[in-house]
Structure 1
Amino acid sequence: MKIIIAGDGKVGLALTRQLLREGHELVVIDSNRSVLGRSLEQYDLLTVPGNAAALATLREAGADSAELLIAATSTDETNILCCLVAKRLNPGLHTIARVRSYEYAEQLFLMREELGLSMSVNPELAAASEIFRLLQFPSFIQRETFAKGRVEIVELRVDEGSRLCGVPLSQLNTITRVKVLVCAVTHDGAVTIPNGNYVLAAGDHIHVTAAGADLAHLLKNLGIMRRRVRQVMLVGGGRITYHLAKRLLQSGVGVKVIEIDTRRAAELAEALPAAEVALGDGSSRELLLAEGLSQADALVTLTGIDEENIVISMFGHSQHVPKIVTKINRLEYGSIFSELGVGSIVSPKELCSNDIVRYVRAMQNQMGSVLTLHSIAGGDAEALEFRVDSAVRFVGVPLRDVPLRAGVLIACITRHGKTIIPDGTSHFEKGDTVVAVTAREDAVMQMNDMFEQ
């Protein structure tokens, strides 16, 4: 598929990496020639320097023959205008605009058809929603949802002294007392797609597939159910903070925001009258303690600087804050930071690019193609959702007889609304939704890609 990406920033780069891996033809537009040069050095693509909203630039990029345009420049207005102009040039073009300003959210919802937008994405709103979900079950490091919310893959850390230590996976369900499946394990930076003989050890990060309705029972039976989050400290007063604080307050959770900028602190205090807004430097340990960090149920670090977020989160960890969520833009930090066991990591650009990639896959609508995809284990493994149709091989064959490729595991099957955590006797039926986990480097685009030829 020919895809144009307008804007070669954080979201644009994340999209470039994923879409090229899936075999799409990319053209990238940016006004900064040096930024485009960096992308040319790393990836096999075409670049066009210029204003992404200008008709001449879009013509040069081939918008008249493209199938999808993704406008992800740093300016909302440029993104909207880019989509409008490209749509006029090519009425059959699908267009996606990144729009960050919450002032535009309602207008875009009402005017999407008039503007010719296929989809709009908001990285900050997506990040706020993800953090809110993580705070609902603070024991989980990450949560990924499949099968319209019926199935989740959650990440847990096996701590020293945990009842999971020394347990073979074949015996795990005797402890959890609900049917679950460990589909990936990370230990010392290495990812394993395990079998039943794998023995859990302290320091393991396990990715567990379970029915959404069983999550609370899973935590209770493992003895790691944490108390409900009632008071949250948010460090940094950007867009994510606004969206997240609004949702937390609506759900009855107390919110304290620490913001260093006087003007922004005043804006937040006016926009969020039920929140407590403190003016000061969130990286100051003395200020954090004075504002009640030790009494908070959760700390969320949302400044614009990754290093600052990491340091503040590590201090929160030293103060035994039960739940910590850290916003990170540079993914290389994420993989290192996750090994420290400090808490959850959220990357707005990755959330945004994943939403767009899911739309691209829906456009392709191939037989047996991926419906949704989530990166797990710090990006070293993927969880993919498929629909079983007439093109899928091995329908009706017990899984123990299905020749899965190395590094692939069937994590869950959903049939007629019922969740099946599979074993060797389980099988596929036409119409099933299947979740598979793979640590393979080559992209799995269709369900048949999981099987040996």
Structure 2
Amino acid sequence: MKVIILGAGQVGASVAEGLVSEENDITVVDYDAVRLAQLQDRLDLRTVVGNAATPSVLREAGADDADMVIAVTQSDQSNLVACKLAHGVFNVPKRIARLRSRDFLEDASLLSTDNFAVDFALCPEQVITEYIRRLIEFPEALQVLNFARNRVSLVAVRAYEGGLLVGKQIKEMRDLLPPEMDARIAAIFRGDQPVFPEGETVVQAGDEVFLLAAAEHIRPVLRQLRRMMNPVQRIMIAGGGNIGLRLAKSLEKRYEIKLLEGRKDRAELLAGELDNTLVLLGDATDEELLERENIAEMDLFLAMTNDDEDNIMSGSLAKRLGCKRVVALINRRAYAEMIEGGPIDIGISPAHVSIGTLLAHVRQGDVAEVHSLRRGAAEALEIVAHGDAATSKVIGKRIDQIDWPHGVTVAAIVRHFDRAIVIGQTDDWTAITRHGEVVIAHHDTVIEADDHVIVFCTRKKVVRKVEKLFQVGFHFF
């Protein structure tokens, strides 16, 4: 596939890295020649220096025969104009734009083919906000991801000394859960190395364990298998930029929020925008300020500024002063890998959190969901199985009969996705319903047509092979 990426920032570079590894023909456009040269030194791709929103630059980048344009520059206007040109002048089949402005995100008609012709709008700030909200709901988790429209949940946790699973084989997990619950260890990472999760695999203290279950079961499963942390009630946010403001707005009705902002004019704007958040003017690296605002009583500190060093400094200080849990935005991958697990409990890479949402619209075949794991080292895919036994390599076969690439685990299937299934009741009259039946995958599970199959790839290089397995052909005999 021939893809043009407009913008070589964090998101653009991450998308380029992910797509180059899957044998796509990639061209990256940016104003910054130095940044492009650095990208070209690392990856096998073409670069073009220039304004991404001009026809001549798009033509030089190969828009005449491109399959897709991904506009992820820092400017909403440039991204919109580029998509409009890609559609109207070059007839590029698919156009994706990164957008921050609510005006465009909240009015779908502006993105229609009659206007800016954007097939999919990515708002990284909103994606990160939802990501952090899920972490708050599961305070013991390192990562929380959803599949099949929230029908299935995946939670990554650290195995601790004395935990029920530590020192036991994975197949013993069934004995620790009630009969009505089923769950799957979909992946294990020991240090930087993936450990393929088989029945005889022994979980060790310190392992990063990815647990998957139906959404209604994931919390009870976690409660059975590990010690639980107290629910989050008090949150301090450092940084009142776009992400900090979005977070405060989405959380303030449910939690007690304090928001630190160092710029007076911005703090005044935030105070006017927020209803139930205490906005404080000050520096999050100021020890006296944190102590005065009772940082030791906070359940969670979110370092959300645009500066990695400030986030690391303020997060480390908050932890030293007694805050229970610290999450920091870290753009540089080397920083995130270095600090996570120390004073910073979780380092979030905005680019890698956002990229999964985008990749679901890029991947071949019917990929419904993509999640980046381990800062891009691995991926979890939700793929719809189409066709029948004659046209598909997977339909009608048991999981252990399929030639999966090494490092691939099938964790679960959501079946009858269009059917509402009652999973409980709130009272005598109100039923709790979800769409689809969750089948935790085992070796003898048979894949059926239209199943949503959740697959884990501990190495990104095998993603393309998995997609090919699910492609429908004329016949397979």
Query: Is the shorter-chain TM-score for this pair beyond 0.5, marking a shared fold?
Result: yes
Among residues 388, 396, 409, which one is paired with 2:385 in the alignment? Answer: 388
Aligned residue for 2:246? 243
Matched position secondary structure for 1:425: coil
Alignment of 1:179 with 2:149, yes or no, is: no
Among residues 345, 349, 361, which one is paired with 1:359 in the alignment? Answer: 361
What per-residue deviation string (whole Å, max 9, x for no partner) do you get for residues 243-265 of structure 1? 11111024x21210011111211
Q: What CA distance in whole angstroms lies between the structure 2 residues aligned with 1:217 and 1:347?
A: 29
Aligned residue for 1:330? 332
Give how far 1:135 is off.
0.9
CA 1:123/1:187 → structure 2, altered by over 3 Å: closer, same or farther? same
Q: Which moved more, 1:125-134 or 1:323-332?
A: 323-332
Aligned residue for 2:426? none
Asked if structure 1 preserves the Cα contact closer than 8 Å seen for 2:86 and 2:92, the reply is no
Q: What CA distance in whole angstroms lies between the structure 2 residues aligned with 1:174 and 1:287?
A: 50
Query: 1:90-239, aligned counterparts within 5 Å?
Result: 90-102=90-102, 104-107=104-107, 109-113=108-112, 114-177=115-178, 178-239=181-242
Q: What CA distance in whole angstroms lies between the structure 2 residues aligned with 1:243 and 1:408?
A: 36
Query: 1:247-396, aligned counterparts within 5 Å?
Result: 247-250=250-253, 252-340=254-342, 342-361=344-363, 364=364, 366=365, 370-389=367-386, 390=388, 391-396=391-396
Q: What is the count of residue pairs matched by the alignment?
A: 445
Q: What CA distance in whole angstroms lies between the structure 2 residues aligned with 1:401 and 1:231?
A: 50
Matched position secondary structure for 2:106: helix
Amino acid corresponding to residue 146 of structure 1 in structure 2: F
Amino acid corresponding to residue 376 of structure 1 in structure 2: L
Asked if structure 1 preserves the Cα contact closer than 8 Å seen for 2:156 and 2:211, the reply is yes
Give how far 1:341 is off.
7.9
What per-residue deviation string (whole Å, max 9, x for no partner) do you get for residues 31-67 of structure 1? 2222222222222222221111122212222223222
Q: TM-score, normalised by structure 1?
A: 0.91
CA 1:441/1:9 → structure 2, altered by over 3 Å: closer, same or farther? closer
CA 1:119/1:396 → structure 2, altered by over 3 Å: closer, same or farther? closer
Q: CA RMSD in A?
A: 2.3
CA 1:6/1:284 → structure 2, altered by over 3 Å: closer, same or farther? same
Aligned residue for 2:68? 68
Give how far 1:92 is off.
4.7
Matched position secondary structure for 1:64: helix
Q: TM-score, normalised by structure 2?
A: 0.87
What per-residue deviation string (whole Å, max 9, x for no partner) do you get for residues 56-109 of structure 1? 2122222232222111112222222222233221245422221223454335x3
Alignment of 1:84 with 2:84, yes or no, is: yes
Aligned residue for 2:409? 409
CA 1:262/1:314 → structure 2, altered by over 3 Å: closer, same or farther? same
Give how far 1:333 is off.
2.4
CA 1:162/1:341 → structure 2, altered by over 3 Å: closer, same or farther? farther
CA 1:104/1:293 → structure 2, altered by over 3 Å: closer, same or farther? farther
CA 1:401/1:44 → structure 2, altered by over 3 Å: closer, same or farther? closer
Q: What CA distance in whole angstroms lies between the structure 1 residues aligned with 2:20 and 2:152?
A: 29
Amino acid corresponding to residue 212 of structure 1 in structure 2: A
Give how far 1:342 is off.
4.1
Aligned residue for 1:48? 48
Alignment of 1:430 with 2:427, yes or no, is: no
What per-residue deviation string (whole Å, max 9, x for no partner) do you get for residues 110-153 of structure 1? 41112211122111121111111211221221012112211122
CA 1:4/1:338 → structure 2, altered by over 3 Å: closer, same or farther? same
Asked if structure 2 preserves the Cα contact closer than 8 Å seen for 1:392 and 1:447, the reply is no
What per-residue deviation string (whole Å, max 9, x for no partner) do you get for residues 277-302 of structure 1? 11111012222121121111211110
Q: What CA distance in whole angstroms lies between the structure 1 residues aligned with 2:405 and 2:27?
A: 33
Aligned residue for 1:23? 23
Matched position secondary structure for 1:360: coil
Matched position secondary structure for 2:372: strand
What per-residue deviation string (whole Å, max 9, x for no partner) do you get for residues 412-439 of structure 1? 1222211111223322122222112122
Aligned residue for 2:424? none
Q: What CA distance in whole angstroms lies between the structure 2 residues aligned with 1:92 and 1:398?
A: 40
CA 1:426/1:85 → structure 2, altered by over 3 Å: closer, same or farther? closer
Q: What CA distance in whole angstroms lies between the structure 1 residues aligned with 2:121 and 2:367?
A: 21
Q: What CA distance in whole angstroms lies between the structure 2 residues aligned with 1:305 and 1:172?
A: 42
Q: Which moved more, 1:64-73 or 1:385-394?
A: 385-394
Aligned residue for 2:428? none
Q: Which moved more, 1:303-312 or 1:315-324?
A: 315-324
What per-residue deviation string (whole Å, max 9, x for no partner) do you get for residues 368-427 of structure 1? x54332222343322122222334325434334444433222111222211111223322
